[in-house]
Structure 1
Amino acid sequence: MPHRRIGHWVAGAAALQLVARGATVSGLVLSNRRRKRREPSPSGFPVLEPAQETIGDSVITTYTYGEDVFADMLEAIHGAQHEILFETFILKGDAVGQTFKQALVDAADRGVRVHVVFDDFGSFTVPREFKRWPENVHLMRYPLVTPRVLLGPRHWGRDHRKILVVDRHTGFVGGYNIGDLYATRWRDTHVRVEGPAAHELENCFVDFWNHNRTEDQPELSDDRERGWDPRIRGHRNAPSRLLFPVRGIYLEAIDRSRRSVWITQGYFIPDAEILEELLLARKRGVDVKVILPERSNHVVADWVARYHFQRLLEGGVELWLYQGAMVHAKTAVIDGFWATVGTANIDRLSMTGNYEINLEILDEAQAAQMERVFERDLTNCRRLTLAEWRRRPWWARGVERILQPLQPLL
């Protein structure tokens, strides 16, 4: 009888925790919606003009403003002669989305082989009609649910990547989804790669397409240019294959750091190992700074991230909160030599859950450009101090503790 009573108590306590967690999430979401209705839309933020750096036989252009990168992506699509590989997590049905869709359809009409992938979850709210494409565009809508989900969590990941490759020579990758919002109101980072290094993105697309295509979709040739230039490498997370190299390059680069680790993230929820490496780097005198949004577009993720702030601040890591707009970049620059730009956030979903791709770039000139971007972003941030954090109200501490178990889901 006592054992049965203890079991009832445990079950009751667990049920209360679930109810409290659900109520907290609902309250945060409703409160955030009311706040967004009251606050004015973002009016602008500091950016840099697109900047080019040559690395071997390839050229990298770095973008910090949506309209700039969208214009060059569309120019590449309009100039395509043979093949377009286009992949995105979100493709909105608004004016920007319509412009991209029309450009891709026009390319297919003039004889270019056009392959398009978008994620059905990311584009869930997009009108159904917009998701219909002419037959001469090879379309893959990465489905919300497939029979593979029954095989376990490794098959639950979303296609979170943003890739464009044109004629095997010009590639784009970074944090920008496609839509009006991202053109002018979000601060993100993208790069264009021209030359042999574009294959790093091309190969990623080809492997994903061939692995997920149906019988009625054409197989893409895998007999494409390959190289071994270690200065620009594409690392893709593929949960169905248990491959998570983006997490590995972060851990290795932070572990090697001697001078500086500067990270910009839209969603920053580091796992135990990444958190430990950041603290160890700071302990040995490395300048560790992280830029993240004061408020992101996912209020629950913001609150789950806060659970680690105390330990980071006490360890000397500087947290800089981006003001007045959503910073969505997924970048880092270390020791003025190592840099990464891509689609992966430092959170569980990106590091071990979703399909992602990041470029790893070993070049002093490109790293210097990434440092300039970081320094410009700092001018639009406020620093969160340990003293301020310790003064947060008691109820905020309670929310952090209630939501902390959600970290493995975000």
Structure 2
Amino acid sequence: MSRRPAFARRRLTQALCLTGCVLALTGCAQLPVWRWQVQPSATPHFQAAWGQLSAQRSAALVQRLQGSWGDASGLDERIAQEQMIVGRPLVLGNRARLLQDGAATYQAMFEAIAQAQDHINLESYILDDDAVGERFAELLLARQRAGVQVNLIYDSVGAWGTDPAFFERLRDAGVQVLEFNPLQPWSALAPWAPNHRDHRKLLVVDGQLAILGGVNISGVYASGSSLRGLRHRPGKASGAEKGGEASGGTGAVPALPWRDTDILIEGPAVAEFQRLFLQSWQRQRGPVLAGRNYFPVVPPMGPQVVRAIASSPDDPYSLMYLSLLAALDQAQRQIRITQAYFVPDRQLMRALTTAAARGVQVQLILPGQSDSGLTFHAGRSEYTELLQAGVEVFEMRSVLLHAKTAVIDGLWSCVGSSNLDWRSALDNDEINAVVLGEGFAATLQQAFEADLLAATPITWAQWQQRPLSWRLKEWGARRLARLL
């Protein structure tokens, strides 16, 4: 007998549960107010494979990092400020590699999973039962049969369309599977909070390698964006420039390649990401995990300095949101942000516009088309203020942008799952990696500049001439910003 009728009934029940409570719960929480001040005695802390660095060695490291950029004065304050917000140290001795688009990310994940010897911890918002999902399932099952313990967290909303049989097959083989905040109250192990979603995308293998970023497990990412062949040609109008709905007004967009970014980290910092995975498991009251070597001693693997920053509604405030505000506030030369879902609040807008006012070059790469029409137009409703303040805005129209990255002053880099919207800041579990140093920043800068070549600049003259229909959509979407 087909399982699809039961599957459909389950999804209908979930839909009714979700509809009945999301609107009631959304809007209760508020974004934290940026009032952090660094104490004069605050000093940056660094963690190495052998333990915490002394104050003298930490100061020497800050001096070296500061010297690498020349005039990055106040770097010690920047580091101490972020440290006060997050409460976790920067970790030395890591190797970090940028992974652009799904094809490169999946290849790295497949290789890491195939080489696992002790355990695999995988957390994903979306886990589709398509060809890509099946490839992951087969690899995970193979390692489970080989004696490697596989632990999986997936989000109930993100996996809305995935047949429960997909997960049952994994469970039957010994994989520990945890559904994050099930939409049916009677299925929840932890206190039921249907608007609290797990938006993280994280793979940890043997406690030695971590991959995280914006890439879900879904076939839409499989082809990659092939940006090297895409260049904006001035004078050739796109659908958006002609006022058509090809710019993403409805959420029903053409079959475009998805542009996304992940980061692969090897070294002592992986323990920080491992800790966050296990914390998610415990908070959701998952079953007792099989005993494995989740925190092996990992020797230095490279020169990168990494901090793990996670956010959750369970925390008193959004760690990533305040960390970004602090980084923007301290920026001296340049801010470059690539963002898939841009629905900023007033504090974030003020941070961007005041940075531009004090002479910092602020560049934003945003979607020219989106799978979320409301989010797309809500973001566009802020363009007038941004452009008037001197912020440079670019839209990517040849791909479906899903990346979430930032690089500031060629020194502070961030790759992760956090969007610049209310939902990421208040309702979702998110995970990000901050890398401090010019080496990785240079790689991220190169990726940003390649994206710029494939993006369309939004000029003030152009923006003033946009159609009335756009303006009405922006007005309406902005009123719903808190829901996005």
Same fold (TM over 0.5): yes
Q: Which amino acid aligns with 2:175?
A: V
Query: What's the secondary structure of 2:98's corresponding residue?
Result: strand
**1:212 aligned to 2:292?**
no
Give 1:213 shift: 2.4
Quick check: 1:89–1:161 contact (8 Å CA) kept in 2? yes
Change (3 A) 1:226 1:356: farther
Change (3 A) 1:151 1:172: closer
TM-score (norm 2): 0.69
My pick for the range that moved more, 397-406 or 261-270, is 397-406
Work out the CA distance in 1 between the residues paired with 2:279 and 2:479: 34
Give 1:125 shift: 1.3
Change (3 A) 1:152 1:254: farther
Work out the CA distance in 1 between the residues paired with 2:355 and 2:192: 35
**1:134 aligned to 2:168?**
no
Quick check: 2:406–2:414 contact (8 Å CA) kept in 1? yes
Work out the CA distance in 1 between the residues paired with 2:325 and 2:365: 18
Quick check: 1:140–1:213 contact (8 Å CA) kept in 2? no
Matches within 5 A, 1:165-176: 165-176=204-215
Matches within 5 A, 1:7-18: none
**1:102 aligned to 2:138?**
yes
Matches within 5 A, 1:4-403: 56-132=92-168, 133-135=170-172, 136-142=174-180, 143-146=182-185, 156-184=195-223, 185-214=257-286, 216-218=287-289, 224=295, 231-403=305-477
Give 1:305 shift: 1.2
Query: What's the secondary structure of 1:111's corresponding residue?
Result: coil
Q: Which amino acid aligns with 2:264?
A: R
Give 1:218 shift: 2.9
Q: Which amino acid aligns with 2:347?
A: E
Query: What's the secondary structure of 1:114's corresponding residue?
Result: strand
Change (3 A) 1:168 1:305: same
Query: Structure 1, residues 65-111: CA drift from partner, whole Å, max 9, x if none?
Result: 21112111111111111011000011111111100011111111111
**Matched residue count:** 354
Query: What's the secondary structure of 1:351's corresponding residue?
Result: helix
Q: Which amino acid aligns with 1:280?
A: T
Quick check: 1:114–1:138 contact (8 Å CA) kept in 2? yes
Quick check: 2:214–2:404 contact (8 Å CA) kept in 1? yes
Work out the CA distance in 2 between the residues paired with 1:289 and 1:66: 24
Work out the CA distance in 2 between the residues paired with 1:105 and 1:149: 25
TM-score (norm 1): 0.81
Quick check: 1:340–1:359 contact (8 Å CA) kept in 2? yes
Give 1:144 shift: 2.5
Work out the CA distance in 1 between the residues paired with 2:105 and 2:417: 15
Query: What's the secondary structure of 1:303's corresponding residue?
Result: helix
Query: Structure 1, residues 360-407: CA drift from partner, whole Å, max 9, x if none?
Result: 111111111110000000111000111111111223222222222210
Query: What's the secondary structure of 1:395's corresponding residue?
Result: helix
Quick check: 1:209–1:220 contact (8 Å CA) kept in 2? no
Quick check: 1:87–1:163 contact (8 Å CA) kept in 2? yes
Q: Which amino acid aligns with 2:384?
A: Q
Give 1:150 shift: 12
Work out the CA distance in 1 between the residues paired with 2:460 and 2:185: 46
Aligned-residue Cα RMSD (Å) equals 2.4
Q: Which amino acid aligns with 2:208?
A: H
Change (3 A) 1:223 1:294: closer
Change (3 A) 1:344 1:256: same
Quick check: 1:213–1:219 contact (8 Å CA) kept in 2? no
Give 1:221 shift: 7.8
Work out the CA distance in 2 between the residues paired with 1:176 and 1:239: 22
Q: Which amino acid aligns with 1:181?
A: V
What is the identity percentage for the equivalent residue pairs of Structure 1 and Structure 2? 34
Work out the CA distance in 1 between the residues paired with 2:192 and 2:175: 32
Query: What's the secondary structure of 2:171's corresponding residue?
Result: coil
Q: Which runs of 5+ in 2 are unaligned?
A: 1-90, 224-256
Give 1:56 shift: 4.3
Query: Structure 1, residues 301-336: CA drift from partner, whole Å, max 9, x if none?
Result: 101112111111111111100021111111000000
Q: Which amino acid aligns with 2:128?
A: K
Query: What's the secondary structure of 2:480's corresponding residue?
Result: helix
Change (3 A) 1:252 1:225: farther
Work out the CA distance in 2 between the residues paired with 1:225 and 1:352: 33
My pick for the range that moved more, 331-340 or 216-225, is 216-225
Quick check: 1:210–1:220 contact (8 Å CA) kept in 2? no
Give 1:189 shift: 0.5
Q: Which amino acid aligns with 1:200?
A: E
Query: What's the secondary structure of 2:431's corresponding residue?
Result: strand
- Give the match for residue 38 of structure 1: none
